[in-house]
Amino acid sequence: MPTLLEALEEKYGLEPDEKEEHEKEEEAVLVSIFVPKLPPRQSTPQLLVLNDCNIDRAGEPEDLKKKCRIVKELDLAQNKLNNWNEVFVILSHMPRVEFVNLSLNHLTGPIQEPPVTKMDNLRNLVLNNTKLGWCSVETLLRLLPALEELHLSLNEYTHVLIDTIDPTAAEGATASSPTATAPSEVPAATSHTKQKEDADDDGKEQQPTTAANEPPPYQTAPHDGVRKLHLTGNYISEWAEICRIGRVFPQLEALVLADCPLRNFYFYYTFLLCRSLKPSDVDEKENAEESHKYFRNLKLLNLSNAKIDSWEDIDRLAEFPSLCNVRLQYWPLWARTDSTTEHERRQLLIARLPNISILNGGDTIGAVEREDSERAFIRHYLDKPDAERPRRTVSDLKSRLERIFDVPAARMRLYYVDQDLRDLGLEEMKYPHKVLYSYNIRSGDEIIIERKVVKS
C-alpha cells in the first residue's frame, strides 16, 4: 500500500529531477512521439484530496515536510490508516492545516500523545465511521485547543462516555461504586487516567451495550472552542447522555443528532441509573432545568428521525434559551397526528415554539405566519378535552405578547373579556401559573393588555 507521499506524487506528477532524468532516457530513443501533457506541479495545493488511495502511513518525513507545508485542508477519507502515530506524523508536517477529514479509516484508538505535535490551527475535524473510542476523543480535545467543529457520526455510540471534571465532587470523592454516583460526581480514582490505562492494556476501548455495565465517563476539562458537533447515526437514546455533551462543550451552537433514536428530553435516565429512583420521584421542575440548562448557546438542533412521540417534548424545546433553528422531521409523533395536514402540523409547531425562526430548513418564519399559526393553534384546541390541551399558563402568554407588542412582561397586566359575559366587566388574569384553557377562551373573546405605570 502506498504512503501519503507516494500517493501525492502519483496524483500530482513527477518530481523535477525525476522528470529531467526521464527526458534524457527519451533522447536516446531513435523514434519518439511527442504527446503534450501538463507539467508536474512544483508544490502541493492548499486543498489536498487523497481519499480512497489505500494510504496506510505517512512516508519520508523530510520530503513530506517540504511538500505539505502550505496545506490548509486535508481529505484522507476512506484510506487504510489505523495508527494515530502516523496521523500525527502527517499533521506535524502541515503546520497550517485547518480542516482534516479522516472518515472511514479504522482509527479506534487508543491514542498515545505525541511528544511534540503543534496543531493550534486545526479547527474542523471529521472522524465519521472511524469507530473512535471516547477515550481517544478526550485525548484529542486536549491536543486541539483551536477546534471549532467536530464530526463523530456513524461511530456506533450507545452512550456518551465523556464528561467534565467537577472539582467539588473530586474533593469529596469516596470509594463508592461508580454506578452509585451521578456522571459529574465520578470519583477521582475512576477518572481518565485509570480508564485510559485499562484501554491501553486491552488495545482498544470497549463500548458498553447496556446501562447496567456502563463505565463512568472519561473526565476532561470543558472545551470552550467547539461550536458545532455532529453525532448523526449513532445509537444514543437518552437525553441525559446528550447533557454530558453540553457540559463538555458549553459554547456549543449547533448540534446534529439526526438518525439517533432519542426518545424524549427528560433527564430521568441519570437518576434511574445513579440514584435508583422512579421517574415519579424526580421533581418535574428540576428535570426540566436539567434537560436544557447545559445548552445556553445552542442555536441549531437537528433531531430528524428521532423516536419522540409526545407534544410535551415539543414544549420542552421552547425552554432552550437561544434555540432558533430546528429540524423535527420523520418522528413517530407525526404518524399519530395524520389527521392533520403538513401545513397544519407546521402551524402547531410554530405556535408551540415561539423562539424558532427556521423550522425544518424552510424560510424564516415571518410575523404573519406566526400570527396565523397562533390563531390556528387556538382553533385546534377549542373543542379538545382538557387532558389533550397543552399546559400553557398566563406567564407563557405574557412572554409571547411581549415580543409582539413591545411591552415588558413584568410590566404587563392582562384582562380577559368573555363575549357572552361582557356586561359583567373585565376579569384580570393575575395568576401567572393558571392554565389558559381554564378560562374557556373562544374565538370572539378578547384579551386586553395594559402597561403598568411605574410610580416615581
Q: Of 368, 388, 408, which marks where a domain is finished?
A: 388
Reply yes or no on whether the pLDDT at 423 is more than 90: no
Domain co-membership, 345 together with 400 = no
pLDDT for the residue 247: 94
Q: What is the CATH number of the domain that holds 420?
A: 3.10.20
Residue 405: give the domain boundaries.
Answer: 394-451
Q: Is residue 405 part of a domain?
A: yes
Please give the pLDDT value at position 250. 95
Out of 39-43, 136-140, 288-292, 372-376, pick the least confident. Answer: 39-43
- Which residue, 388, 413, 428, sits at the end of a domain? 388
Q: Is the predicted pLDDT of residue 364 greater than 50, yes or no?
A: yes
Residues 63 and 118 in one domain: yes
Helices (H), 322-385: 332-336, 342-352, 367-381
Whether 310 and 446 map to the same domain: the answer is no
Specify the pLDDT at position 72.
Answer: 95
CB-CB contact of 100 with 151 (8 Å): no
Count of domains forming the chain = 2
Per-residue pLDDT averaged across 381-391, rounded? Answer: 73
Establish if 370 belongs to a structural domain.
yes
Could you tell me the sign of the dihedral formed by the alpha carbons of 262, 263, 269, 270, in that order? positive
Q: What is the mean pLDDT of residues 353-358?
A: 92
- Same domain assignment for residues 49 and 89: yes
Give the CA count within 13 Å in the CB-facing half-sphere of 231. Answer: 26
Three-class secondary structure of residue 366 per DSSP = coil
Alpha helices, DSSP H only, in 172-262? Answer: 192-202, 239-248
Chain-centroid distance of CA 143 in Å reads: 20
340 within domain boundaries: yes
Among the residue ranges 81-95, 172-186, 300-314, the one predicted with the least confidence is: 172-186
In a domain, 413, yes or no: yes
Q: Give residue 213's pLDDT.
A: 58
Percent of the chain, pLDDT > 70?
Answer: 74
pLDDT value for 226: 98
State the Cα–Cα distance between residues 449 and 413, nearest whole angstrom.
6
Q: Which residue has the higher pLDDT, 416 or 186?
A: 416
Res 271 pLDDT > 90: no
pLDDT given for residue 21 in this prediction: 47
User: Same structural domain for residues 384 and 398?
Assistant: no
In b/e form, how buried is each residue of 264-283, taking b as 16+ CB within 10 angstroms?
bbbbbbbbbbbeeeeeeebe
CB-CB contact of 187 with 181 (8 Å): yes
Residue 134 sits in the same domain as residue 254: yes
Q: Which of 173-177, 318-322, 437-441 has the highest mean pLDDT?
A: 318-322
Examine residue 86 and state whether it is found in any structural domain, yes or no.
yes
Domain of 78, CATH number, reads: 3.80.10.10
Enter the pTM of the model. 0.74
Least confident of 44-48, 67-71, 171-175, 401-405: 171-175
Which region among 163-172, 336-345, 440-449 has the lowest average model confidence (pLDDT)? 163-172
Looking at the structure, tell me whether residues 258 and 351 fall in a common domain. yes
Task: Give me the pLDDT at residue 188, please.
Answer: 31
Do 139 and 254 lie in one domain? The reply is: yes
Residue 205 has pLDDT above 60, yes or no: no
Least confident of 77-81, 174-178, 216-220: 174-178
* Any domain includes 283: no
Query: Is the same domain home to 411 and 318?
Result: no
In a domain, 436, yes or no: yes
pLDDT at 440: 75
Burial class for 165, CB neighbours closer than 10 Å (0-12, 13-18, 19+): middle
| Pair (381, 431) in one structural domain | no
pLDDT band for position 287 (cuts 50, 70, 90)? low
Among 264-268, 303-307, 401-405, top mean pLDDT goes to 303-307
Average pLDDT over the chain, rounded to whole? Answer: 79
Name the residue with higher pLDDT: 432 or 408.
Answer: 408
- In this predicted structure, which of 90-99, 234-243, 379-388 has the lowest mean pLDDT? 379-388
Q: Name the residue with cell 455532529.
A: 230
Query: What is the residue type of 399?
Result: S
Q: Is residue 90 part of a domain?
A: yes
Confidence of residue 278 (pLDDT cuts 50, 70, 90): very low
CB of 419 within 8 A of CB of 444?
yes
**Total count of residues recorded for the chain:** 456
Looking at the structure, do residues 383 and 400 belong to the same domain, yes or no? no
Q: What is the pLDDT of residue 274?
A: 40
In a shared domain, residues 308 and 342? yes
Q: Which residue among 388, 409, 440 closes a domain?
A: 388
